[in-house]
Structure 1
């Protein structure tokens, strides 16, 4: 069995939920992914003994992430599809 390799994957356009669910499909059953910051860029640290992600696989992850985010947005607000819509939060009042 090959030794595990770790590499940084920039996170732009990739949802954390999607990559964590699909990484084993793309890189093998022993693949692990976690949030990581490299040289000030947010992304993911992928650790696997299998082959690294190809450009096509990364594009698939980005497409799945777009679909996932749109689905989550529709679920939260059926009338308007806006990914970064403000969410009202009830504020507590102080007692004197």
Structure 2
């Protein structure tokens, strides 16, 4: 890809599935997005020869992500929909 730009998009509130499916719509068919960590923050590295994501487009991705997560939660059969619901992890106590 010649003339490409790469930039970081913070991942808070954005589903990986959603951004990977919609990046071509926003930034062009040659756009690539992958998980990335910058200065300890998880997010996505977007590489595109098209226009960068605008703040409004990022907000649209967050809305679509919430809808996607809620749909996935309903499919999983959970009674209540709560995105990023804490999951209990059983830990064994150390005996000293």
| Structure 1 residues 1-96: aligned runs within 5 Å | 3-83=3-83, 84=85, 86=87
Deviation of the 1:80 alpha carbon: 1.8
RMSD: 1.9
5+ residue gaps, structure 1, are: 88-96
CA distance in 2, matches of 1:33, 1:62: 15
SS in 2 for 1:21: helix
CA distance in 1, matches of 2:70, 2:86: 12
In terms of mean alpha carbon deviation, does 27-36 or 74-83 score higher? 74-83
Instruction: Figure out how many residues of one structure are paired with residues of the other and give that number.
Output: 88
Unaligned runs of 5+ in 2: 89-96
